[in-house]
Amino acid sequence: MTSKEILEDLRQSFLREQKALGIHTALGSLLRTFELSHPNFEGFIFRPAETKSLVLTTEGKFGVDDKQQIRVPENILDFPLSYTIHLLFHEFIHIRQRATPNFSASRPLREFEAYFAGLFSPNRPVIPLSEHLREQFLAAIEKYYQQMTEEEKATVQDKYDLAQKRWPESGDPRFLT
């Protein structure tokens, strides 16, 4: 079996679990399978089903002990599993950011760091990252870099340069926070 076929089999398994036990149980299994967790993660909240795009957001207050929820479309398991997993990883980066003591980075800096981690973190999911999603992440890195102040740009210049080189997706952990 190819990795794409394996991921589709897994997605079908999660869909069967959703049908039998509910979406919360299926998503819990998905998180455990791909080792996505954080003590501040409280659970999922749902928005109406999407048909064209998968939009996830992290919601909650910033703080070491403040719980966070990830808002997802109720049909999240209808999307390709590799795409879903990488976007969930992105949201878990935001949960980690929000739990950092005295964290007060601007939105462009937070998003830059989360998209960068999605490409270069040694802890990112070990499932294929499609070229399409890779290009989306690189475009987001560029977008948020351009929105930063000069002072913020200076703090991430090495990471930005690395992203511009489009190094292999395994990344270089020397540039991670």
Please list the pLDDT of the chain residue by residue as tens digits (177 residues).
888 899 999 999 999 999 999 999 999 999 999 999 999 999 999 999 998 999 999 999 888 889 999 999 999 999 999 999 999 999 999 999 999 887 778 999 999 999 999 998 888 888 878 888 999 999 999 999 999 999 999 999 999 999 988 654 444 443 333
CA distances (Å), 23 to each of 51, 56, 74, 77, 176, in order? 17, 16, 8, 9, 33
Show me where the domains of the chain are located. 3-99, 107-175
Provide the whole-model pTM. 0.87
- Rounded to whole angstroms, the Cα distance separating 173 from 177 reads 9
Exposure b/e, 43-61, CB count within 10 A at least 16 = b = ebeeeeeeeeebebebebe
Structure tokens that stand for 93 in this block: 């980066």
